Amino acid sequence: MKTLSESKESRLESLQRANDEAIDQIAKFQNVLEAIFRKAADSSRKEVVEACKKLKKEILQDKCTIDNTYDILQDTNDKLKNAATNRAQHFVCSKEAENIIKEAEQEMIKQDTEDNIDVDVSFRPNNTLMDYIQGLHGIGDVLAAKKKKNLYKLRDSRDINIKSSNDANTCRSAGCCLTYDNQLLVTDFDNKKVKRIDICTMTVTDYCSLDSHPTGIYCISQEEAVVACRDPHNIQFVSIEDKMTPTKKIDTSHRCFGIAIKDDFLYVTDVRTSLYEYDMNGTLLRTIINDNDGNKLFSKIRHIIFSESGDKMFISDADNGLVCFDGMGNYVSTIKDNDLNGVRGVCIDRRGNIFVAGYSSDNLVQYNEDGKKIGVVVKQDDGLKRPLSMAYSREQNRLFVTMDNSDLLKMYELG
């Protein structure tokens, strides 16, 4: 009993630390938001200054034109006076004066019209932004959950056949994900398909054909998924309502492999050395290649996953291991493990743990989100061979793993 009591006391202390860390994260995020608003306000102030500067320039130009016109009229009047005794010269000066007076009258009409128009610069607040901010109940999501700290145990395993009747080639699924209604989506590289699998009946229920070879896949909503494709290289959106159908496509200048979305930003890997960040319209925002010291982060970059809270990003690299970033895309650390060779698939259990697949070591290793190794969950002896990607069902405690050049994927029931 005393041991249990001490364990509870330790958990209370840990909970208090988590509370303090969460409060600190809120303060840091508040500072980020305030900096964004200060930058936006500075931009608005700059627009006001520029608008006033432009209007001031126009007014000064008009004043200069009026002053020049007045000087020309004065000069013309002087010429007429001086030519009063010379009829020929007076005639020439009179004709010149008529033209100058005509132009001056037109300029006066123009300036008089513009002089009746008020010059003003004002600021109109963005009410849409105001309404949105006032409608916020917080600046982020608060996640309260019991995290699993010990190693998962393998309770059962089954094979799921992912081959369609009209597949011309052996399946090669480089990516998979679960939909909001717990259906499994898998890509089939060599057959150029995205397949939907009912994980209850463990059968392929639907598929759609693509123009490119699909690799990574991410479920955006109940209605839509997005797929990274190669040869030709693009980001393909797929409707997953009723029958799956390809919809819009974003062409890229680089290879595409892993894909994930956070806060309406697309993150795509290129198999080699780069991580790309796009907006949802396909505008490239930045490319991440090096760490803060200029050292290359990746060699054979693969899949992307975000922590449940979104404050951490994990990227698998076949040579370098698991590369860790914060939620803003800043490099934190790289995890290398002798038990893992040829890191490929990566997924989370939404309980604070990460599963990482070793392609060459034929195993799955469990870490916590701080990068601490918990242990090996699945080994080669459990029927695993050259794993490529993973998806975890929290509701069923099942881990789905695709394998290279195989018509079967593995379903592991954990406990």
**Is the domain of 13 the same as that of 159?**
no
Asked whether residue 142 is assigned to any structural domain, the reply reads: no
Strand intervals (E) in 30-161: 154-161
- The tokens for 294 are 């200029």
What is the structure's pLDDT at 407? 96
**Is the domain of 284 the same as that of 392?**
yes
Listed residue (35, 412, 413, 407) closest to 186, CA to CA: 407
Asked whether residue 148 is assigned to any structural domain, the reply reads: no
- Given a contact cutoff of 8 angstroms between Cβ atoms, the answer to whether 273 and 296 are in contact is yes
- Given a contact cutoff of 8 angstroms between Cβ atoms, the answer to whether 236 and 210 are in contact is yes
Mean pLDDT within 296-301: 96
- Given a contact cutoff of 8 angstroms between Cβ atoms, the answer to whether 408 and 195 are in contact is no
**Is the domain of 43 the same as that of 161?**
no
CA–CA distances in Å: residue 310 to residues 31, 131, 227, 325: 18, 25, 20, 11
Query: What's the pLDDT tens digit per position in 47-59?
Result: 889 988 888 887 7
- Given a contact cutoff of 8 angstroms between Cβ atoms, the answer to whether 214 and 242 are in contact is no
Instruction: Give the span between the Cα atoms of 315 and 310, in whole angstroms.
Output: 14
Asked whether residue 227 is assigned to any structural domain, the reply reads: yes
Asked whether residue 141 is assigned to any structural domain, the reply reads: no
DSSP string, 78-104: HHHHHTTT-HHHHHHHHHHHHHHHHHH
What is the structure's pLDDT at 141? 72
**Is the domain of 158 the same as that of 130?**
no
The pairing of beta strand 234-239 with beta strand 245-251: antiparallel
Place of tokens 């930045």: 286
Asked whether residue 139 is assigned to any structural domain, the reply reads: no
Mean pLDDT within 149-168: 93
Query: What does the mean pLDDT of the chain come to?
Result: 88
Least confident of 22-31, 110-119, 123-132: 110-119
The one-letter code for the residue type at 86 is: N
**Is the domain of 228 the same as that of 299?**
yes
**Is the domain of 358 the same as that of 274?**
yes
CATH number (domain holding residue 341): 2.120.10.30
Asked whether residue 145 is assigned to any structural domain, the reply reads: no
- Given a contact cutoff of 8 angstroms between Cβ atoms, the answer to whether 280 and 264 are in contact is yes
Strand-by-strand arrangement of the 224-230 sheet? 213-219, 224-230, 234-239, 245-251
Asked whether residue 401 is assigned to any structural domain, the reply reads: yes
Residues 6+ apart with CB under 8 A from 320: 297, 298, 299, 300, 334, 336, 343
**Is the domain of 171 the same as that of 110?**
no
**Is the domain of 335 the same as that of 379?**
yes
**Is the domain of 367 the same as that of 269?**
yes
Confidence band, pLDDT 50/70/90 cuts, at residue 283: very high
Instruction: Give the span between the Cα atoms of 300 and 173, in whole angstroms.
Output: 18
- The tokens for 187 are 């890509």
- The tokens for 79 are 């010429």
Q: Give SS3 for 415.
A: coil
User: 13: domain range?
Assistant: 2-134
**Is the domain of 345 the same as that of 378?**
yes
**Is the domain of 24 the same as that of 165?**
no
Asked whether residue 266 is assigned to any structural domain, the reply reads: yes
**Is the domain of 128 the same as that of 218?**
no
- Angle between the N-to-C axes of helices 2-82 and 87-115, in degrees from 0 to 180, rounded to the nearest 10: 160
Burial of 118 (0-12, 13-18, 19+ CB in 10 A): exposed
Among 84, 104, 134, where does a domain finish? 134
How many domains does the chain divide into?
2
What is the structure's pLDDT at 290? 95
